[in-house]
Amino acid sequence: MDYDLDADQEALRGAVATVLARHAGPARAKALSSSEAIDDDLAGALADAGYLDLLGDPDAGPLAAELVVEWVAAAAGIVPVAARALVGPAVLDGQLPPTMTVMVEGDRGPVRFAQAEAVLVVGENDARLMRLAPGALEPVATMYGYPMARVSLAGAEVLDSGPAEQARRWWRVGLAAEIAGTMRAAFDLTLAYHKQREQFGRPIGSFQALQHRMSQVYVRCEGAAWLAREAAFHRAGGERAAAAAAYAAAAAGTVCAELHQMTGAIGFTREYDLHVWTLRLQTLRLELSGAGGHARALATARWVTPRPSSSGAGAAR
């Protein structure tokens, strides 16, 4: 057991930070937000450096891949990094496209990053990687930080497939990692604001009414991050993946509301960076049936005895 980054992870952090400093960050996120597209420069830079293929790399592994997802989320990158770096390589054996996203089969709602090269469509038993037919996307106007579209699977081509349960578990780990990175960045901005913003002649961070709330947000940020890292390290076991996502998604709702309330009116402006992360938290916390869905999955994995007929990789509870 070791809660500190090892030398390789430390080196990875520095290297990824260099890429993110050049191709990500809140200013870039705001500049690109109207284009309703994935940030191909960032996706390309991460792919070229090999940072999207760490999960299967024996020198890196799933925890390193999870950390990259957290860091990219904290830098507000507009790339489907969790789907491509965690879900894809964990579920599919074949060559992965440069960008991919994940959706639930039959979902008629907006799909985050539907503009990716391929979509992993997660059904009851199978998760199928599909290339959508031309005209399959109906873009959705949104302020919530990611390009989104409604998706039609008519005429889509199946490229590959894998077990759906595995896909759901890694999707949950990915969501937990994205939420953890996003919440932490929003928290850090708000913490700095609390030390610098003065009212009634003192920094607002000196008011105990706000201190207690900041402390509670910090506990949630920490809890979400460590559960996500653990779940990735343990290769998305059903309980761990669901626990990480359930905790993170519930935290995301609270943290978004709390940080905005504690920032006040400046937080409502496009100019101020807070919304770059907080509005994304709304998207992230609702995906894959949200905190309630993750919590139900956790209860099922922990307390509902698997039926003998449902054993096997794809149907493990």
Contact residues for other proteins (CB under 8 A)?
Answer: 1-6, 9, 63, 67, 191, 194-195, 202-203, 205-208, 211-212, 214-216, 218-219, 222-224, 226-227, 229-230, 233-234, 240, 242-244, 246-247, 250, 291-292, 294-300, 302-304
Among residues 6 and 124, whose Cβ is nearest to other proteins?
Answer: 6
Among residues 45 and 55, whose Cβ is nearest to other proteins?
Answer: 55
Q: Which two tokens stand for residue 147?
A: 């390009």
**Beta bridge partners of residue 101, listed in sequence order:** 119
Q: Among 249, 236, 237, which Cα is nearest to 293's?
A: 249
Among residues 132 and 244, whose Cβ is nearest to other proteins?
Answer: 244
Q: Residue 73 Cβ, how far from other proteins at the closest point, in Å?
A: 17
CB proximity list for 7: less than 8 A, separation 6 or greater: none
Residue-wise burial string across 153-170, b where 16 or more C-beta atoms lie within 10 A, e elsewhere: beebeebbbbbbbbbbbb
Q: Residue 4 Cβ, how far from other proteins at the closest point, in Å?
A: 6
Q: Residue 158 Cβ, how far from other proteins at the closest point, in Å?
A: 31
Among residues 19 and 231, whose Cβ is nearest to other proteins?
Answer: 231
CA distance 295 to 235: 19
Q: Residue 295 Cβ, how far from other proteins at the closest point, in Å?
A: 3
CA distance 143 to 232: 30
Contact 149, 111 (CB under 8 A): yes
Q: Residue 140 Cβ, how far from other proteins at the closest point, in Å?
A: 27
Contact 49, 20 (CB under 8 A): no
Q: Which two tokens stand for residue 110?
A: 């907006």
Among residues 32 and 189, whose Cβ is nearest to other proteins?
Answer: 189
CA distance 60 to 29: 28
Among residues 153 and 315, whose Cβ is nearest to other proteins?
Answer: 315
Q: Residue 299 Cβ, how far from other proteins at the closest point, in Å?
A: 4
Contact 108, 92 (CB under 8 A): no
Among residues 62 and 80, whose Cβ is nearest to other proteins?
Answer: 62
Angle between helices 62-74 and 208-233 in degrees, nearest 10 = 150
Q: Residue 247 Cβ, how far from other proteins at the closest point, in Å?
A: 4
The count of residues in the chain is: 317
